[in-house]
Chain A
């Protein structure tokens, strides 16, 4: 678990990373101040996810971003986004649903997945 968090901190160097134990041996992780692309009305977002007590066998899914995320062109966020509450503080959030059907615990990590999910959000796909 600590290795996963350390890798997230290294990968997102310069961004505050908040963690909270989930009570089962896993952790909630929130990376703050991540840049959003020009598609969005906001400049930055936080990115949250839960690393479960069974990690790295588990996929890291889903991810969560700021609850007011909106497109600059006012279009709907589309498939893969849904409003919800999440985390140790039951905060309002937008759920980002990107499952990894070929998750390989020998290769895939929470940090890599966070990079991919952020890229997907910024692509507006």
Chain B
């Protein structure tokens, strides 16, 4: 055969499978109950395509009961029963999910399909793909390894690159242990903590920073110096003289660049995303920067978010919270949301209990909607532009909130440390928790720190597992985006 692939094997490293950690643990418990036997299940998944290839997003696991749904095979050791396959395929077809049959092999760090497995895929998957109208494939797991054989709608047959599990830690499982490049000297000191594999994980990340103000610019600075491979900066704002005290990389001259002062074509103050990108380039590190000088609700920004491994939410608007929350749960992307609240009594000027928060939001923690962190009325006022601002005036003037670099620094350090440790697998929880991750809160005035336990609404429109939620829908999700119409608003139509 020489260099040619055998017809019965998929092309290697073509797609990834993302699991919320609760589904992953349920599947692992089913496949590896400790009896050393082979067990089976079907994973139903949404699909997402992007610049980094196809990602399938595990949404539901249907367990095959031994002896009933998972029975002795006519050709191989065991197989899913035709009745079970038909039932689950109908579910995949009606709900629009990809169908992935999973079983286990022995071993720990290496796994591959047997010849019998691959032949059974060839016999069954073309018809199953036609029946469901969705990608169909097989998965085989060892304790710490996974392999996959996917039959796509375009007729290709492709192999699994990795399984990524999103929980407290982001864990990657492949078909075999891989050796990577050595760590560059620049990162030697941190790699002594993170390990070479951890440093390479950072270099492989694409992270979005939404909001490049006082908090976001500091997050960007840390991510560049950690060695993150690619950053996406999203912010429509230009720098303002009141920002200089907090925005990392900014200078007074950015508020009034020379071209404007010398009578040449006026540019106006510089964009915050440009300032952050220039600052990153000055470091000489190799992080690639993509900038979007637009609101996060614009379609281009939403598209950029879908392809990320993490989203850092450092913009304090209800729209940013809503959009990021929607994308994160439709595409199973972990989020770090940071913020600082300085309560000041408008009448007396008395400062209340200042707090800094860093919220680690995973697909299983419960989301910003579940936790009352998105206000539907404020969201409406922001989304309705000038009319919304006029309507808000009824409630009272919208004065700028206090903002201080050191407080932003606390929230960002908490958040970026969480992102870092999660990426390299160093988060440990000492207390048993019903859900992973959590919301950190620090009150600097009273030197108190604690974790808020996030709530989770099973019927949530974003993170719930209902038929109408966005959860793991990937490219089938109808995401909220703002249209930009040059002719807006339009003349009225009348419905009698």
Q: Which residues of A contact B (CB under 8 A)?
A: 5, 9, 16-26, 28, 30, 50, 52-54, 57-62, 82, 84-88, 95, 97, 99-101, 103, 105-106
Q: Which residue of B lies closest to A103 (CB)?
A: B376
B residues 364-410 touching A (CB-CB < 8 Å):
374, 376-377, 379-381, 383-385, 387, 390-391, 394-395
User: Within the complex, what minimum Cβ distance (angstroms) separates A29 from chain B?
Assistant: 9
CB contact list, B102-150 vs A, under 8 A: none
Please give me the residue from chain A that is nearest to B325 by CB atom: A57
Closest 5 CB pairs of A and B: A23-B488, A52-B383, A103-B376, A58-B380, A25-B483
Which B residues lie within 8 Å of A26 (CB)?
383-384
CB–CB A61/B483 < 8 A: no
Within 8 Å CB of A58, what residues of B? 376-377, 379-380, 383
In the assembled complex, B90 has its CB within 8 A of some CB on chain A: no
Please determine whether A99 and B496 come into contact, CB atoms closer than 8 angstroms.
Answer: no
**CB-nearest residue of chain B relative to A19?**
B493
A20 close to B492 (CB less than 8 A): yes
Asked whether A54 lies within 8 Å of B377 as measured between CB atoms, the reply is no
Q: Are A28 and B489 in contact (CB under 8 A)?
A: yes
- Pairwise interchain contact B480-A53, C-beta atoms closer than 8 A: yes
Taking the closest CB of chain B, its distance from the CB of A45, in whole angstroms, is 17
- Some 15 contacts from A to B, beta carbons below 8 A apart, are A16-B496, A17-B495, A19-B493, A19-B494, A20-B492, A21-B485, A22-B384, A22-B385, A24-B484, A52-B383, A59-B379, A59-B380, A61-B377, A61-B391, A100-B377
Min CB–CB distance A100 → chain B (angstroms): 7
Which chain B residues border A53 with CB–CB below 8 Å? 297, 383, 480-483
Task: Tell me, rounded to whole Å, the shortest Cβ–Cβ distance linking B414 to chain A.
Answer: 28
Q: Is the CB of B384 within 8 A of A82?
A: no
Q: A19-B493, A60-B380 in contact; A54/B390 too (CB < 8 A)?
A: no
* Least distance between A108 CB and chain B CB atoms (Å): 8
Q: Is the CB of A16 within 8 A of B494?
A: yes
Q: Give B441 Cβ to nearest chain A Cβ, in Å.
A: 23
CB distance from A25 to the nearest CB of B (A): 4
> Which residues from A are CB-within-8-Å of B39?
none
Which of A28, A30, A95, A106 is most buried by chain B, counting CB atoms within 10 A of its CB?
Answer: A106
In angstroms, Cα B380 to Cα A28, docked, is 13
Indicate if the CB atoms of A23 and B492 lie closer than 8 Å: no
Contact A30 B492 (CB under 8 A): yes
Check A5 against B495 for contact (C-beta < 8 Å).
yes
- The main secondary structure of chain B at its interface with chain A is loop
Q: Report the Cα distance A30→B491, complex, angstroms.
A: 13
Interface residue tally for chain B (C-beta within 8 Å): 36
Please give the residue numbers on chain B whose beta carbons come within 8 Å of chain A beta carbons, in ascending order: 297, 319, 322, 374, 376-377, 379-381, 383-385, 387, 390-391, 394-395, 459, 461, 468, 480-485, 487-496
Contact A24 B376 (CB under 8 A): no
Q: How far is the CA of A25 from the CA of B299 in the complex (A)?
A: 12
From A9, A61, A87, contact of B495 by CB (8 A):
A9
Report yes or no: A84 in contact with B391, Cβ–Cβ below 8 A: yes
Closest Cβ–Cβ distance, residue A49 to chain B (whole Å): 10
B162 to chain A, nearest CB (A): 33
| B459 adjacent to A54 (CB under 8 Å) | no
Q: Decide if A95 touches B492 in the complex (CB within 8 Å).
A: no
Q: Is the CB of B492 within 8 A of A19?
A: yes
Given contacts A18-B495, A24-B488, A105-B376, 8 further A-B contacts (CB under 8 A): A17-B494, A21-B489, A24-B482, A53-B483, A57-B379, A61-B381, A97-B394, A101-B377
> In the assembly, what is the distance between CA of A84 and CA of B390, in Å?
8
Across the interface, do A24 and B483 meet the contact criterion of CB distance under 8 Å? yes
Cβ contacts under 8 Å, B379 to chain A:
52, 54, 57-59
CA of A57 to CA of B323 in the docked complex: distance in angstroms? Answer: 11
Tell me the minimal C-beta distance from A10 to chain B in angstroms. 10
Which A residues lie within 8 Å of B394 (CB)? 62, 82, 84, 95, 97
B384 contacts A19, C-beta separation under 8 Å: no
- Interchain CB contact (< 8 A) of A23 among B322, B374, B489: B489
B298 CB to nearest A CB, Å? 10
Interfacial chain A residues near B381, Cβ < 8 Å: 61
Q: How far is the CB of B416 from chain A (nearest CB, A)?
A: 29
Query: A57-B480, A86-B387, A106-B461 are contacts. A23–B495 as well, Cβ < 8 Å?
Result: no
Contact across chains for B483 and A23 when beta carbons are under 8 A apart = yes
Give every chain B residue within 8 A of A97 (Cβ-Cβ).
391, 394-395
Provide the residues of chain B in CB contact with A23, threshold 8 Å: 483-485, 487-490
Residues of B within 8 A of A105 (CB): 376, 461
A88 touches B489 (CB 8 A): yes
The reply to whether A88 and B383 form a contact with Cβ atoms under 8 Å apart is no
Docked pose: A50 CA to B492 CA in angstroms: 13
Give bound CA distance, A37 to B81, whole Å: 67
Are the C-beta atoms of A62 and B494 separated by less than 8 Å?
no
User: Known contacts A20-B491, A25-B481; is A85 also within 8 Å of B390 by CB?
Assistant: yes
* Minimum Cβ distance to chain B for residue A22 (Å): 5
Chain A proximity of B8: nearest CB distance (Å): 47
Q: Which of A9, A88, A106 contacts B459 (CB 8 A)?
A: A106
Nearest CB to that of B369 among chain A residues?
A: A57
Closest B residue by C-beta to A84: B390
- Shortest beta-carbon distance from B278 to chain A in Å: 31
| Cross-chain contact B387 with A50 (CB below 8 angstroms) | yes
Q: Which of A17, A26, A87, A101 is packed against the most chain B CB atoms within 10 Å?
A: A26
Shortest CB distance A50–B (Å): 5
A28-B483 contact given A52-B380, A54-B319, A85-B390, CB 8 Å threshold: no
In whole angstroms, how far apart are the Cα atoms of A25 and B395 in the complex? 26
Q: In whole Å, how far is B377's beta carbon from the nearest beta carbon of chain A? A: 4
